């Protein structure tokens, strides 16, 4: 049981390190078009 728990913790740690490295190294492009939504007035009730 101890080796399985150690393996799972190591796997989670490796995923966190890998995910962090991916987010740091990857150049995420900025949005090229603006997004505009029209909200219906019925969603906002006057109480």
Per domain, the residue ranges of the chain are 1-26
Residue 10, pLDDT score: 97
Residue 8, pLDDT score: 97
Residue 28, pLDDT score: 83
Q: What does the DSSP 8-state code read for residue 40?
A: P
How many angstroms separate the CA atoms of 2 and 5, rounded? 5
Low-confidence residues in the chain, pLDDT < 70 = 46-47
How many angstroms separate the CA atoms of 17 and 23, rounded? 10
What's the pTM?
A: 0.54
Residue 47, pLDDT score: 58
């Amino acid at each position: 049981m101890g080796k399985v728990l150690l393996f799972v913790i190591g796997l989670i740690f490796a995923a966190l390190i890998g995910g962090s490295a991916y987010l740091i190294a990857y150049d995420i492009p900025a949005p090229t078009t603006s997004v505009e939504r029209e909200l219906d007035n019925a969603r906002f009730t006057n109480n």
